[in-house]
Structure 1
Amino acid sequence: MDHDGSRVTLRPLTGEDEDEFVKLVLDSAELHHPWMSLPATPERFRAFLAGFDPASSESLLVCLRDSGAAAGMINIKEIIRGRYQGATISYAAFAPSAGRGYLTEGMRLALRHAFEDLRLHRLEANIQPANHASLRLVARAGFRKEGYSPDYLFIDGAWRDHERWAITAPSAGFVPHSSMPIH
């Protein structure tokens, strides 16, 4: 996908990524716990990938431009068309390259993709309140906190509270589409 001078690019996650992805998930288990659980076996990876319906979701790898190595991932899921034109967004950095700003750059590219290519109007991120790195990422990207959802998602064996953050195309600096497709 197009870039804006960033050190990363986005590309769709495919079955060919299985070995690299599973290894990165295993190497990143401590970084992701207790915030999320990603597929750490080939079987779970294949099931994870099969869960992305092209009409309503995408899984994108954030790849280093110079080497092509995966630095993280961004998922755009639960795309709703019609009057809403929105989706949820989730993301994860991979430990070998975490803390270097690659996911921040990838998020900027994902926002451009969501608002320009997918013609969405709104994206929502749901984040556990103690996940400070994730909260800083969405704040840097321009999301605003909209609320708090007790017992929102079942993660790591328990129902976890989440903060709801959102961004719209106009608030992110994208021109709103005057006529939205109604699917």
Structure 2
Amino acid sequence: MPEHAYLAEGTRAAIRPHRREDGAEFVRLARQSVSFHRPWLTLPTTDEAYEGFIDQLEREDRRGFLVCVRETGALAGFININNIVRGAFQCGAIGYGAFPSTAGRGYMSEGLGLVLRQAFGPLGLHRIEVNIQPGNEASTALVKRHGFRLEGFSPDFLYIEGAWRDHDRWAMTSDMLGPA
């Protein structure tokens, strides 16, 4: 992938918007990731499910980003800003997932920093929330590295993998964003 196609670049990771033509690769990686993400996350594992996923990301209240290995363009994961509310709130909720082939190598951490700069910069948001199931240590460590604060606990918060799951609520406001 040419460097100019990235929305933002870090040292090793880069972000770009999702595209419909990413479907085959995204679905292939999602299928490889099913057990890796269980019970935290369910990804689209069919072409039809991916089309629905993209349809949702094209709504005005969402933005979707692919986290890529900067040098090769390989997909490392994704970070989406969902439920964007404007007006006095200026808030969005982030959801994300790494693909196992690149997990644990820092791409998602660098990618999250790039997405936060987009959220608090060009998108003009004031607040970003992340909801994480207790026990998801990797996800909790990711948001802690970026300075999110734990704001509370929500029982039966999201329906994932056939059950209502409890979540810890983490948040960051634009004034909390550290240096690049």
- In which range does the TM-score fall when normalised by the shorter chain? over 0.9
Residue in structure 1 matching 2:68, options 58, 63, 81: 63
Q: Deviations over 1:54-108 (max 9, x none)?
A: 4210111001111001000000011111111000001100011001010000000
1:2 alignment counterpart: 8
Quote the RMSD (CA, aligned, Å).
1.1
Q: Deviations over 1:109-157 (max 9, x none)?
A: 0000000010100000000001110000000011110000000001111
2:172 alignment counterpart: 167
User: Unpaired segments of 5 or more residues in structure 1?
Assistant: 175-183
Residue in structure 1 matching 2:49, options 18, 22, 44: 44
User: Unpaired segments of 5 or more residues in structure 2?
Assistant: 1-6
1:28 alignment counterpart: 33
Give me the identity figure in percent.
50
1:81 has 2:86 as partner: yes
Question: Aligned letter for 1:2?
Answer: A
Runs of 4+ with deviation above 4 angstroms: none
TM-score by length of 1: 0.92
Q: How does 1:89-100 map to 2 (within 5 A)?
A: 89-100=94-105
Task: Work out the CA distance in 2 between the residues paired with 1:6 and 1:164.
Answer: 29
Indicate the SS of the match to 2:111: helix
2:4 alignment counterpart: none
TM-score by length of 2: 0.93
Indicate the SS of the match to 1:117: coil
Question: Aligned letter for 2:134?
Answer: P
1:111 alignment counterpart: 116
